[in-house]
Structure 1
Amino acid sequence: MTGGEIAALIAAIAFLILVFFIVRVLVQVTRIMREVQSTVAEASRTVTTVTGDVDALSQEVEGLLSKANVLLDDVNGKVADLDPVFTAAGDLGTSLSDVNTAARDLTSRLSSLGDLTTRTTSAGKVGASAFKLYRNYRQKHRKAAPETPTEE
């Protein structure tokens, strides 16, 4: 064997080893490609299923939102109907406060009038006594008299 033949033999063996490793790599790449292909097919089926579920869900949500809007419109109408009630209640509270203030003013004036009658001369005492007699008379007759309905 000559030097050229040995070099050719070494080159052939190296080429054979290179082809062997390239075949191994190609087999692994083919296996990986099959797995990728099955994964893509599974992802495609999953996306199709999810898309169908999302479509059904969106239709249900749309119906639910429609019903919620109708309910909200109904509640808003009823709240608008109740606004005059709250306004009237506020006015009634204001009126009661005014009546309470007027009653306090009247009480304080009568109290100060009572203080004046006790400090006055005998004529003032007679007037106060007459007022007490009249009030007692009125209370007795009010209890004895039957109540009559008032006209409105």
Structure 2
Amino acid sequence: MGDTALIIIAVAVAILVLFLVILIVKMMKTVDEINRTIGVVTQDADVLLKQADTLMGKTNTLLEDINGKVATIDPLFTAVAELSDSVSRLNHTGNTFATRMKSTASNAGKATAVVTLGRGASKLFTKRKKKAEEKKK
């Protein structure tokens, strides 16, 4: 009976070893595939990093160019703002002047009417005075 038990244990150990060998072989294939994938990803990452570095360099060059152009036209924007302010002040002054002229014209019209009335009264007074002098003679 002891020999049978040893044979059963030996067969069980052999089956266990066989399953472990199969498992280890599959794991080695998986590890090899992982290593290949890591290699491909590393190469792709290197390419992407080089492209990103080139893109960043071109972007920096473009930004420097834009900053230079903005600095060049910045005085133009300042001049346009100052011109706009001047035109606004000129417009305000023109409106004020027109309002004063309208008021002055209205007052001048009234003054003209008074002067005309005064002249008419003066002529009438002069005519009456002459008639009075002629009657005395």
TM over 0.5: yes
The CA distance in 1 between the partners of 2:60 and 2:116, in whole Å, is 75
Q: 1:83 to 1:36 in 2, by over 3 A?
A: same
The CA distance in 1 between the partners of 2:57 and 2:102, in whole Å, is 67
Matches within 5 A, 1:47-86: 47-86=38-77
Instruction: Confirm or deny that 1:122 pairs with 2:114.
Output: yes
Q: Which has the higher contact order (CA 8 A, sep 6+)?
A: 1
- Structure 1 residue 13 displacement after superposition: 1.9
Gaps of 5+ in 1: 1-8, 126-152
Matches within 5 A, 1:1-152: 9=1, 11-120=2-111, 121-123=113-115
Q: Which has the higher helix share?
A: 2
Question: Over the residues paired in the alignment, what is the CA RMSD in angstroms?
Answer: 1.7
Gaps of 5+ in 2: 118-137
* Count of matched residue positions in the alignment of Structure 1 and Structure 2: 116
TM-score, scaled relative to structure 2:
0.78
TM-score, scaled relative to structure 1:
0.70
- Structure 1 residue 124 displacement after superposition: 7.4
- State the match for 1:137 in structure 2: none
- Structure 1 residue 91 displacement after superposition: 0.5
- Structure 1 residue 82 displacement after superposition: 1.0
Give the counterpart letter for 2:74 in structure 1.
Answer: D
Give the counterpart letter for 2:24 in structure 1.
Answer: M
The CA distance in 1 between the partners of 2:73 and 2:82, in whole Å, is 14
- Structure 1 residue 119 displacement after superposition: 2.2
Map Cα deviations across residues 50-108 of structure 1 (whole Å, 9 max, x no partner): 21221122112111111111111001000111101110110011001011000111011
The CA distance in 1 between the partners of 2:87 and 2:80, in whole Å, is 10
Query: Percent of aligned pairs with the same residue?
Result: 29
Q: Which sits farther off after the overlay, 90-99 or 50-59?
A: 50-59
